[in-house]
């Protein structure tokens, strides 16, 4: 009798579990069905907003628009909206009329520079769609992708967005940092201008090479092995010339933390850099930004508790082709306090608001971080960083544009403002470089990164 009861109980439990599994599968199927219907293929709301200032997603262009003459990767980007004029310009005088669509960092810039800081607001566009393999990988992740190892790892299909409908802060963070829809291979020489309060400029220059094997167009894989490789060679300032920082990223910060090495031209030796990341100074920037601040956030988020604050409409840099034009000269762009507002393009878009609060017992320069993540691309566009007293310290924004050659967005010029010092860093400038960003050319392999690659460059 006891055996029979146990068998009956097991059968009952199995039936319940099968029922729950069936419900979960049904929910996942329903969620997946939304992609391409009321949501875009990566999870953004297709509809516009109530007053029409944010248009519906059209996705009418994939790759080069018919009216654009783009010569190929390595050339500076070409603006598909050239000739458009701002709808209006936000100034310190009318800022309060638009306060609901501004971040605390933007408001702080208006207060610090009331005579010069402005935000030209252009018509909003949602015209570009991502390559098909990104949509395929994202759909495969619905009901499959999951967070593991206390938020330090992810099991998912690569090549797309892991969580198109995120429900937790760590899911949203992984979308915006680990699963960014960036280039497969990337190479460029960029200038970094640290603009002092009096307008003088300290210059840096870096040659960067990056490889993300899982983002090879058409590839859909699993979160195993390496997620990315990087190598940065410092060209300026002269005192740091020849320094090389290289390393590799993985999918799980607990089982496989970031590995990094540094070549020192003074000693001509390569040494491992344990713990590289977090609030270490990023090479070639004079210590003005942290390693994990590049593109607003990268690397492990383990030192923070992450919370989804919600979604909101916001004026953010968008379709930022103009700021990368070779017709612009640095001397005209780099004005005291902030970049010349005439080179900027802001549009109203919906963003996810993600907040990270430093965990008790952990150390970082920033006690709190707030990021505004574009719903159409999952890229963090604007970020506010607070010190350990809770005071707003730095505000940053990244100028993205849709790169025709890879059918996804490219991170361009980053603007990092120190509100206390009255300085800012214009990061990844390419205007006066002979070439722009060389994307998805596919010439890199893992052999081009790591300690041996650093030694070869140093010889």
What pLDDT, on a 0 to 100 scale, did the predictor assign at position 275?
A: 85
Among residues 88, 238, 233, 221, the alpha carbon closest in space to that of 144 is found at 221
For 455, which DSSP code? H
144 pLDDT more than 60: yes
Residues 87-134 pLDDT 10s: 999 999 999 999 999 999 999 999 999 999 999 999 999 999 999 999
32 pLDDT more than 60: yes
CATH 3.30.470.20 is the classification of domain 88-458? no
Q: Label residue 127 exposed, middle or buried (CB < 10 Å: 0-12, 13-18, 19+).
A: middle
439 pLDDT more than 50: yes
Higher pLDDT: 285 or 231? It is 231
What pLDDT, on a 0 to 100 scale, did the predictor assign at position 347?
A: 99
* Cα 243 to Cα 100: distance, rounded to the nearest angstrom: 45
Q: What's the mean pLDDT in 251-257? A: 96
* Cα 115 to Cα 423: distance, rounded to the nearest angstrom: 16
* Cα 233 to Cα 215: distance, rounded to the nearest angstrom: 23
Task: Assign 430 to helix, strand or coil.
Answer: coil
Residues 331-390 pLDDT 10s: 999 999 999 999 999 999 999 999 999 999 999 999 999 999 999 999 999 999 999 999
* Cα 34 to Cα 29: distance, rounded to the nearest angstrom: 9
Alpha-helical (H) ranges within 85-147 are 104-112, 132-141
Domain boundaries, the chain: 1-34, 88-458
Residues 126-140 pLDDT 10s: 999 999 999 999 999
Residues 71-88 pLDDT 10s: 999 999 999 999 999 999
Q: What is the DSSP string of 43-94?
A: S-B-S--TTSSSPPP---BSSS-TT-----TTSPP--TTTT---SEEE-TTT
Q: How many CA atoms lie within 13 A of 345 on its CB side?
A: 23
What pLDDT, on a 0 to 100 scale, did the predictor assign at position 1?
A: 38
């Amino acid at each position: 009798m006891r055996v029979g009861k146990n068998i009956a109980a097991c059968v009952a439990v199995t039936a319940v579990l099968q029922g729950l599994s069936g419900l979960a599968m049904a929910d996942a199927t329903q969620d997946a069905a939304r992609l391409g219907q009321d949501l875009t293929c990566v999870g953004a709301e297709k509809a516009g907003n109530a007053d029409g200032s944010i248009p519906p997603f059209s996705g009418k262009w994939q790759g080069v628009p018919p009216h654009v003459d783009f010569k190929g990767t390595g050339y500076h980007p070409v603006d598909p909206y050239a000739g458009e004029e701002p709808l209006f310009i936000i100034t310190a005088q009318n800022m309060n009329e638009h306060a609901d669509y501004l971040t605390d960092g933007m408001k702080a810039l208006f207060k610090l520079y009331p005579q010069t800081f402005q935000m030209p607001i252009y018509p909003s566009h949602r015209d570009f769609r991502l390559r098909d393999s990104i949509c395929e990988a994202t759909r495969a992740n619905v009901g499959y992708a999951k967070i593991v190892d206390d938020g330090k790892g992810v099991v998912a299909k690569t090549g797309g967005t892991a969580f198109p409908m995120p429900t937790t802060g760590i899911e949203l963070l992984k979308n915006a940092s680990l699963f960014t829809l960036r280039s497969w291979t990337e190479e460029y020489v960029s200038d970094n201008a640290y603009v002092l309060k009096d307008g003088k400029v300290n210059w840096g220059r870096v040659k960067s090479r990056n490889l993300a094997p899982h983002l090879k167009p058409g590839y859909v894989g699993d979160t195993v092995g390496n997620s990315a490789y990087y190598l940065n060679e410092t060209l300026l300032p002269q005192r740091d010339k020849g320094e090389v920082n290289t390393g590799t990223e993985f999918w799980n910060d607990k089982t496989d933390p970031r590995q990094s090495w540094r070549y020192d031209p003074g000693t001509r030796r390569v040494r491992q850099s344990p713990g590289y990341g977090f609030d270490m100074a990023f090479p070639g920037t004079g210590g003005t930004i942290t390693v994990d601040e590049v593109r607003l956030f990268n690397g492990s988020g383990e030192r923070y508790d992450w919370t989804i604050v919600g979604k909101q409409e916001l004026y953010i840099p968008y379709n930022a082709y103009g700021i990368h034009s070779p017709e612009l000269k640095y001397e005209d762009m780099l004005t005291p306090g902030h970049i010349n507002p005439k080179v900027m393009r802001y549009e109203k878009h919906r963003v996810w608001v993600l907040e990270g609060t430093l965990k008790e017992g952990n150390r970082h320069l920033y006690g709190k971080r707030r990021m505004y993540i574009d719903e159409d691309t999952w890229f963090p566009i604007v970020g506010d960083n607070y010190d350990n007293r809770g005071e707003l310290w730095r505000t940053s924004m990244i100028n993205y544009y849709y790169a025709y050659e890879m059918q996804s967005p490219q991170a361009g010029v980053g603007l990092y403002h120190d509100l206390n010092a009255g300085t800012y860093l214009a990061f990844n400038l390419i205007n006066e470089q002979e070439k722009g960003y060389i994307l998805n050319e596919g010439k890199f392999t893992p052999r081009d990164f790591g300690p041996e690659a650093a030694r070869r460059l140093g010889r």
